[in-house]
Amino acid sequence: MKYLSTVLIVAFFSKLSSVNGQTAIWTKADSLLFYSDAMLTCTVPKFREAAAEKFKPLLLEYLNAVKPSDDNLNFENRIAVIQPSNQAFTLYSWQYQSQENEWKYEAVIRWSSGRINELTREIRDYNRIRMEVFGESNWYGAMYYFILPILENTKNEYTLFGFAQDQQDYKYKIIETITVEDEKLTFGKPIYRISDDQGGTDKFFRQVIPYSKESNCVVEFNEAENEIQYDHIATITDNFTPANKILKIPDGSYESLSWTGTYWKHDPHLKIEPLNQAPRTKPVLGNDNKDILGRDLKKK
């Protein structure tokens, strides 16, 4: 059966195919969609990795061939594609799981001029990246799925929402500020003033929210309040597992980051509910109709 499936995939992926007696051309865009889907959903690890190895050079070839103004390719959330309202750049980022079950992250940025920069990942502990600045050559690795509609055109700064996961069964939501200068990105700026457990405030370059793979963490932007709102994550011990596994899960309360005009001010006890989210009466585990980024799944 495995060999039959392989034969069918190869036949499906031929450059020319006959559809209703007519010749249908397989375009570069079709190939990109195929490989982006395979590296994300294929159950065979070596096939996922093979698809990922094909995807990046093909994406670079496509971006070099198509003008930014003519690019209307829709990856349908197979990879993350974001662009600010001023269309200064488009950031493509994606993940896949290798044969060794490690999560790999890649990213490419195309500027409005047509110039293309590749980001090079330097594997880091996501719990230890709050205090550092990163560049394109030592990027920590994440998928960026949202640009906040504030800070744009303000000193060439943009605030992003990111997502990542590691081999320790944790996921991470990342609130990141990037700076653009001479068509180069710098990740991180010390404008996040986060409250600590002793009532003090620490200055960070980004906010990182770790949570267990069994749960979800919702991060949203309340535009009316210029406020980022997200789940408060509680740490509990799962006494039903032999190793008493430590879980990080939403406990039903919320935190926020409010924009003051110069920095993000942290409130560890948000008094209102985030947009479009009903109050939670218990910790959330398992399938709550969210995708890996914490967004509502669309009913089909």
Q: Who's near 118: CB < 8 A, 6+ residues apart?
A: 60, 107, 108, 136
The b/e string for 133-169 (b: 16+ C-beta within 10 A; e otherwise) is ebeeeebbbbbbbbbbeebeeeeebbbbbbbbbbeee
**Tens digit of pLDDT at every position of the chain (300 positions):** 444 344 334 444 444 444 444 445 678 899 999 999 999 999 999 999 999 999 999 999 999 999 888 888 899 889 999 999 989 999 999 999 999 999 999 999 999 999 999 999 999 999 999 999 999 999 999 999 999 987 655 668 999 999 999 998 899 999 999 999 999 999 999 999 999 877 789 999 999 999 999 899 999 999 988 999 999 999 988 777 667 788 999 999 999 999 998 999 999 999 765 555 544 444 444 445 555 555 565 544
Task: Say if 59 falls within a structural domain.
Answer: yes
Q: Which domain holds residue 51?
A: 25-74
Task: Say if 242 falls within a structural domain.
Answer: no
pLDDT of 14 reads 46
Task: Say if 43 falls within a structural domain.
Answer: yes
Domains in the chain, number: 1
pLDDT of 186 reads 98
* CA distances (Å), origin 202, targets 11, 79, 185, 196, 219: 57, 33, 25, 7, 21
- Say which amino acid occupies 59: L
Please give the model's pTM, rounded to 2 decimal places.
0.82
Task: Say if 50 falls within a structural domain.
Answer: yes
Task: Say if 115 falls within a structural domain.
Answer: no
pLDDT of 282 reads 43
Task: Give 296's strand partners.
Answer: 290
pLDDT of 190 reads 97
Task: Say if 62 falls within a structural domain.
Answer: yes
Task: Say if 52 falls within a structural domain.
Answer: yes
Task: Say if 10 falls within a structural domain.
Answer: no
Q: Who's near 82: CB < 8 A, 6+ residues apart?
A: 90, 91, 144, 145, 146, 147, 160
